[in-house]
Chains A and B, each alone.
Chain A
Amino acid sequence: NAGVTQTPKFQVLKTGQSMTLQCAQDMNHEYMSWYRQDPGMGLRLIHYSVGAGITDQGEVPNGYNVSRSTTEDFPLRLLSAAPSQTSVYFCASSSSSGQIDEQYFGPGTRLTVT
C-alpha cells in the first residue's frame, strides 16, 4: 500500500491564482482531512470528510474548498491564493471519524504564495 499520497510536493503561486492540492489514500479509509502547519506552530484543521459526498469545515476553512466524490480522493482547492496561505499542507486519513483512531498522514505539500 502506498498509504496517503499528496501532490505536488512543492508549489509556488502568485497572489490571486487558484490551484488544487491532491490527496489520495489506498487504505479504503472513510475519514479524510486537511491540515495546515505554519512555521513553529501545530497543525490546524481546514476541512474534513467522513465519507464520499460528505464534507465539513474545520478550524480554518476560509479560502479553501473541498469535495469528496470517491473514497480514495480528497482534493483541496485554493480559490484565490493569498500570502497568508503560505504553509505546509498535510492530508490525513483514518478508518473511522473517531479521534482516537490512528491518523495516517501524507508527506505534505509546501506552498508558497508570493
Chain B
Amino acid sequence: LAKTTQPISMDSYEGQEVNITCSHNNIATNDYITWYQQFPSQGPRFIIQGYKTKVTNEVASLFIPADRKSSTLSLPRVSLSDTAVYYCLGLSNSGYALNFGKGTSLLVTP
C-alpha cells in the first residue's frame, strides 16, 4: 500500500473552492489514488479515483501530476454539508485492507 500524507485539518467558508493535497512519494506503478469521504456518524463513501492527469465527476475533481508523487482533491464551491473527513488512499488490486489513516477533517463555515 502506498503511504499517503495529508493535512490533519482544513477550514473553509461556504462558496469557496477547497483543495486538499495528498503526498504519496512511494506510490507503485499499479496504485490508483482514491478518495473517500466520511460524514460524522456515517461510514466512508467513495468519491473519486484516478491514475494520472485529471478526473472529474459530479462531486469533485482529482488532479494527479505526471510523477504521481502527489495528488489534489478539489471541491468546487463547498457548502456546509461538505464538512467531513476526507481520506486519500493509494490502492492496487493486491491485498485487501484499505489503509484509511486519519484523513483530513474539513470544516466549512458560513
Instruction: Give the A interface residue count (CB, 8 A).
Output: 27
Interface residues of B (CB under 8 A from A): 32, 34, 36, 41-46, 49, 87, 91-103
- Cβ of A62 to closest chain B Cβ, rounded Å: 16
Contact B92 A105 (CB under 8 A): no
Number of A-B contacts (CB under 8 A): 63
A99: nearest chain-B partner, CB-CB: B91
Tell whether, in the assembled complex, residue B96 and residue A42 are in contact, meaning their CB atoms are under 8 Å apart. Answer: no
Residues of B contacting A90 in the complex (Cβ-Cβ under 8 angstroms): 43-44
Q: Which of A40, A45, A50, A105 contacts B44 (CB 8 A)?
A: A105
Question: Is residue A98 within 8 Å, beta carbon to beta carbon, of the partner chain?
Answer: yes
Is the CB–CB distance between B102 and A99 below 8 Å? no
> Which residues on A are within 8 Å of B, measured CB to CB?
4, 31, 33, 35, 40-43, 45, 48, 50, 56, 58-59, 90, 92, 97-100, 102-108
B52 to chain A, nearest CB (A): 14
Once the chains bind, are A99 and B44 in contact (CB under 8 Å)? no
Residue of A40, A41, A102, A106 near B43 (CB, 8 A) is: A106
